[in-house]
C-alpha cells in the first residue's frame, strides 16, 4: 500500500493552484527524503497546466507550516557522502520550486523552521500570519549542522548578509513583525485571510522586490564583506570557544557563495552539511535533542494524573515569585500566593509584572494580554482561597520544622486530594513528609534559579509518594514549560549532588593558588556556559554552600569543602551578585559595568594567586569529580536512566551540550579511560578521585551507560 501523499494539489476556479502540506499521522509537518518524488509529481502537474496563474504552498495543519526536516534522516546516514547526497537532493527540490515559470507563494502560519524556511525561501514571495505561533528561523546550528537545502545561499541574498549571519549562526527565530521588517516576508495578515491574501499575491505578475538597507548593501561589497566576516568570525570564536565546528563552516560557506557565486556556494553547503553530520559534536547535540523530546513525552508514571485546575505558592521570595510567574503566565493556571505579610505578596506580584512589562515593551505581548495573565495571580496572608487548590508549591526558607508546619497547614486548609510539593534543594522529602497525614501526596519539586530561565525541574517522590502524585506533578512541570526528570529522594538529589564536588574542587584550586579568572576560563573553554566560581556568585555563596554539609553528612569526606574558605568568605559579607560582592565585584547596574575579580579574595583565603596549572588540567580535576559522582548516581538509581542523567546535567547545570551530557561523554571516552584518568588523579591529589566501584566494573566488562539502541532513532 502506498503511503498517502503529504502534498495535495487543488486548482481553484481562478486558476491558482493551492498545494496543501499535511504529513499523514504526524502532529507537525516535517520534510522527509521520500517526499521528493511526491513534490516532483506535483511540480510536473503545475508545469503541464498552461492555464495556471500562480501557486500557493500552505499547511493543512492547524498550527505549523513546516517545523523542519526529519532529523532521523541524518541519523540514518552512515557516511559524509550519504549526508551530502541528502543535502543535494534537498537543494534540487528547492531549485525546481524556484524555477517554476509562474509566481510561487509560501503562505505561512505557525512554525516555519529549518527545511520549512528553506522551502519558503525557494518560493518567489512569502506571506505570514500575525499569530504568536508564527516563527521563522534556521535552527540547524543548534544540532551542530548548517542549513543544507540552499538556506545559506538564499537567505543572505534576500535579507542581507549581516542579518542572515545573525539568524544562521544563532538559530534565532523571528516573529512575523520582525520577519517583515528585515524583508524575510512580504506581507503579514490575520490568519482568517491568509489563503485569500496569498492567492491575490500569486495573481500579481511581478513579485515584491525589497531593496536592501544601505548598511547591508555596503557589507555585500568585497571590502565590507571582508571586514564583516573578520568581525563576526572573532565574536563567534569567542562565544563557541572552538567547541562547535558548525559555526566556522557556516561562515565559510556563506562567504564562498558571496565571493564565488551561488553554484559554488550550493556545492560548499552540501559538502559542509555532509562533513558536519558526521562530527561527534553534531551526533551529541542530536542525541540531546532526541533525549529532551523523549523526556517531554514521558508522563513520569503509568497512572493517570489527578486534576490540575488551580495552584498555590507558599512564600513570595525570589523563588516563589518565579514559580508563580511560570505557573500563571506559561501554564495559564490561576495561582494564589501566600506570604506572612503583604510585602512578600507585592514582591511576587511585581516580579510577574516586571517580566510581562518587558514583553509588552518589546512588543512580544499586547497590554490586554499582560493584564489577563496578571489577573491569574492573587495573594493572601492567610489560607483564604486555598480550599480547592489541586497542588501547593512550597518555596519558604530551608528550615525543616517550618516546612513540616506548612504540610500540616495545607492538610488542614485544603482539599483531601491536594498535593504538597516542596521546592527544597537540600532537605530530604521523607523528612518533610514525616508527620503528614497524607504522606502519599507529598513530593519534591526542585526548581533552579532563575526560575523563568532554567528549563529543568527535579520531581522527587519519597518512598510512599503515590504514582498519581508523581504523574500530576510531572504534568504541572510541563505546563510551566519545564523539562522534568524524576529523581530519588537522597541528599542533594541529582543535579546538586554532581555539582557539589565540581564546585568544591574549584574552591580547592583557589586555595592552591590558582586564580579565579583562570579557573573560570578553563571550564568555559571546556564548554560550560559560566565557570564554577562565577556560578557560585550567581546562585549566591550563602545558598550554594548550604548543601555542602548536608552532602558531607550523607556521603562522607569526599564532599567536604576546603577548610574554612567558605566561612571566611561568608563572614566578610560576600553573597555574590545579589549583594554586589562575592569572588567578583559587581559594579552598579548598567551596560558598561563589568564584573571583575576582587583581589581581596586572595588575602581572605590566605594565598597569593599564582597559576601553576594549565587550563585543561584545571578542567580535568573539576569535571572528573562530577563524572565519578554521576556514575554513582546511576548505580544508586538516583536517576531513572542515562537519558535523564544527561538531560539533568545539560539543562540543570549547562554541562557542555556538544558532549551530549556526562553519560554520553563517559561512553565516548570509554569506562576504561575514565577509570585510568581518575586513578592518575588519585595518585596526584588524593582519595577523593578514587573511581567508584560501578565504574571499575564497567571498565572490566567493557560496558557503557547508554545501551545500544536505547537512543535517538527510536524516539
Three-state SS letters, 556-594: CHHHCCCCCHHHHHHHCCCCEHHHCECCEECCCCCCCCC
pLDDT band of 216, cuts 50, 70, 90: confident
**388 alpha carbon, distance to own chain's centre:** 34
Which one is catalytic: 216, 269, 458, 629? 458
Q: What average pLDDT score do residues 459-476 get?
A: 97
pLDDT tier at 653, thresholds 50, 70, 90: very high
- Residue 209 is predicted with a pLDDT of 66
Beta bridge partners of 40: none
User: Looking up cell 551596560, which residue turns up?
Assistant: 591
Identify the pLDDT of residue 375. Answer: 92
% of the chain beyond a pLDDT of 90: 75
Cell 571546556, located at residue: 526
Strands (E), 423-482: 442-447, 456-461
Please give the average per-residue pLDDT across 497-501, as a whole number: 95
pLDDT tens by residue, 335-389: 999 999 898 899 889 999 999 999 899 888 889 989 999 999 999 999 999 999 9
pLDDT of residue 207: 59
The per-residue pLDDT for 541 is 84
User: What is the pLDDT at residue 632?
Assistant: 96
Query: pLDDT class for 690, splitting at 50, 70, 90?
Result: very high
Q: Is 205 a catalytic residue?
A: no
Position with higher pLDDT, 652 vs 540 = 652
What are the residues whose beta carbons fall under 8 Å from the beta carbon of 477, sequence distance 6 or more?
Answer: 445, 457, 459, 483, 484
Task: Provide the 3-class DSSP secondary structure of residue 554.
Answer: helix
Residue 199: pLDDT over 60: yes
pLDDT of residue 687: 93
The whole-number pLDDT of residue 250 equals 96
d(CA 220, CA 230): 14
**Grid cell digits, residue 689:** 578521585
Here the cell at position 678 is 581518575
> What is the predicted pLDDT for the residue at 208?
60
Span 453-471, average pLDDT: 96
- Report the residue count for the chain: 715
Handedness of CA 125, 153, 273, 657 (dihedral sign): negative
Please, are residues 75 and 143 in contact by the beta-carbon 8 Å criterion?
A: no
336 exposed, middle or buried (CB, 10 Å; 0-12, 13-18, 19+)?
A: buried
Alpha helices in 527-614 (DSSP H): 532-539, 541-544, 547-555, 565-571, 600-605
pLDDT at 714 over 70: no
**Residue bearing the bigger pLDDT, 456 or 599:** 456
Confidence of residue 591 (pLDDT cuts 50, 70, 90): very low
Identify which of 451, 440, 438, 496 has the alpha carbon closest to the alpha carbon of residue 477.
451
pLDDT of amino acid 715: 33
pLDDT of residue 206: 66
CA distance 449 to 435: 29
DSSP reduced 3-state for 552 = helix
pLDDT (average), residues 477-494 = 95
pTM attached to this predicted model: 0.91
3-state secondary structure 93-128: HHHHHHCCCCCEEEEECCEEECHHHHHHHHCCEEEE
H-helix or E-strand spanning residue 422: strand 419-422
Q: What is the pLDDT of residue 116?
A: 96
Amino acid at each position: 500500500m502506498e503511503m498517502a501523499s503529504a502534498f495535495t494539489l487543488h486548482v481553484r476556479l481562478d486558476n491558482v493552484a493551492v498545494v496543501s502540506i499535511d504529513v499523514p499521522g504526524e502532529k507537525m509537518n516535517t520534510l522527509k527524503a521520500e517526499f521528493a518524488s511526491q513534490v516532483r509529481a506535483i511540480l510536473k502537474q503545475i508545469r503541464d497546466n498552461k492555464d495556471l496563474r500562480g501557486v500557493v504552498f500552505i499547511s493543512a495543519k492547524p498550527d505549523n507550516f513546516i517545523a523542519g526536516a526529519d532529523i532521523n534522516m541524518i541519523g540514518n546516514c552512515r557516511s559524509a557522502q550519504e549526508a551530502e547526497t541528502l543535502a543535494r537532493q534537498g537543494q534540487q527540490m528547492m531549485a525546481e520550486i524556484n524555477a517554476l515559470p509562474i509566481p510561487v507563494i509560501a503562505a505561512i502560519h505557525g512554525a516555519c523552521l529549518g527545511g520549512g524556511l528553506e522551502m519558503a525561501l525557494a518560493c518567489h514571495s512569502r506571506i505570514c500570519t500575525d499569530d504568536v505561533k508564527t516563527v521563522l528561523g534556521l535552527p540547524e546550528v543548534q544540532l551542530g549542522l548548517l542549513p543544507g537545502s540552499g538556506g545559506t545561499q538564499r537567505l543572505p541574498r534576500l535579507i542581507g548578509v549581516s542579518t542572515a549571519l545573525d539568524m544562521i549562526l544563532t538559530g534565532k527565530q523571528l516573529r512575523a513583525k520582525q520577519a517583515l521588517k528585515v524583508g524575510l516576508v512580504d506581507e503579514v495578515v490575520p490568519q482568517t485571510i491568509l489563503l485569500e491574501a496569498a492567492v491575490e499575491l500569486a495573481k500579481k505578475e511581478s513579485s515584491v522586490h525589497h531593496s536592501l538597507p544601505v548598511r547591508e548593501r555596503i557589507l555585500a561589497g568585497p571590502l565590507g564583506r571582508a571586514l564583516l566576516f573578520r568581525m563576526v568570525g572573532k565574536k563567534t570564536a569567542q562565544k563557541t570557544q572552538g567547541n562547535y565546528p558548525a559555526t566556522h563552516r557556516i561562515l565559510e560557506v556563506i562567504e564562498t557563495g558571496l565571493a564565488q557565486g551561488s553554484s559554488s556556494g550550493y556545492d560548499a553547503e552540501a559538502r559542509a552539511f555532509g562533513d558536519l553530520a558526521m562530527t561527534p559534536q553534531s551526533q551529541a547535540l542530536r542525541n540531546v535533542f532526541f533525549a529532551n523530546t523523549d523526556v517531554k513525552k514521558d508522563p513520569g508514571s503509568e497512572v493517570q494524573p489527578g486534576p490540575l485546575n488551580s495552584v498555590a505558592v507558599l512564600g513570595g521570595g525570589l523563588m516563589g515569585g518565579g514559580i508563580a510567574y511560570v505557573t500563571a503566565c506559561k501554564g495559564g493556571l490561576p495561582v494564589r500566593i501566600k506570604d506572612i505579610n503583604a510585602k512578600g505578596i507585592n514582591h511576587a506580584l511585581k516580579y510577574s509584572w516586571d517580566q510581562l512589562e518587558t514583553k509588552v515593551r518589546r512588543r512580544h505581548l499586547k497590554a490586554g494580554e499582560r493584564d489577563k495573565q496578571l489577573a491569574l495571580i492573587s495573594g493572601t496572608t492567610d489560607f483564604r482561597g486555598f480550599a480547592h487548590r489541586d497542588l501547593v508549591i512550597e518555596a519558604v526558607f530551608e528550615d525543616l520544622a517550618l516546612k513540616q508546619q506548612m504540610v500540616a497547614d495545607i492538610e488542614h486548609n485544603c482539599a483531601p486530594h491536594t498535593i504538597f510539593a516542596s521546592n527544597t534543594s537540600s532537605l530530604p522529602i521523607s523528612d518533610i513528609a514525616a508527620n503528614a497525614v497524607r504522606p502519599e501526596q507529598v513530593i519534591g519539586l526542585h526548581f533552579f534559579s532563575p526560575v523563568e530561565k532554567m528549563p529543568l525541574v527535579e520531581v522527587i517522590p519519597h518512598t510512599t509518594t503515590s504514582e498519581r502524585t508523581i504523574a500530576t506533578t510531572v504534568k504541572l512541570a510541563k505546563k510551566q514549560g519545564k523539562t522534568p526528570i524524576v529523581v530519588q529522594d537522597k541528599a542533594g538529589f541529582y543535579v546538586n549532588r554532581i555539582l557539589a564536588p565540581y564546585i568544591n574542587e574549584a574552591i580547592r584550586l583557589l586555595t592552591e593558588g590558582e586564580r579565579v579568572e583562570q579557573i573560570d576560563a578553563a571550564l568555559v573553554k571546556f564548554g560550560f556556559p559560566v565557570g564554577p566560581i562565577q556560578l557560585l556568585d550567581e546562585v549566591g555563596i550563602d545558598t550554594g554552600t548550604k548543601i555542602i554539609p548536608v552532602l558531607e553528612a550523607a556521603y562522607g569526606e569526599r564532599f567536604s569543602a576546603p577548610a574554612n574558605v567558605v566561612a571566611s568568605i561568608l563572614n566578610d559579607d560576600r553573597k555574590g551578585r545579589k549583594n554586589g560582592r562575592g569572588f567578583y565585584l559587581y559594579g552598579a547596574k548598567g551596560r558598561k559595568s563589568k564584573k571583575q575579580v576582587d583581589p581581596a579574595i586572595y588575602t581572605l583565603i590566605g594565598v597569593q594567586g599564582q597559576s601553576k596549572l594549565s587550563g585543561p588540567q584545571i578542567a580535568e580535576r573539576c569535571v572528573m569529580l562530577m563524572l565519578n559522582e554521576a556514575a554513582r548516581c546511576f548505580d544508586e538509581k538516583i536517576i531513572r536512566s542515562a537519558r535523564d542523567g544527561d538531560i539533568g546535567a545539560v539543562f540543570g547545570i549547562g554541562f557542555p551540550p556538544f558532549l551530549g551530557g556526562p553519560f554520553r561523554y563517559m561512553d565516548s571516552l570509554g569506562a576504561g579511560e575514565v577509570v585510568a584518568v581518575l586513578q592518575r588523579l588519585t595518585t596526584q591529589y588524593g582519595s577523593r578521585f578514587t573511581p567508584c566501584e560501578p565504574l571499575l566494573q564497567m571498565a572490566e566488562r567493557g560496558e557503557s551507560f547508554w545501551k545500544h539502541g536505547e537512543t535517538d532513532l527510536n524516539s
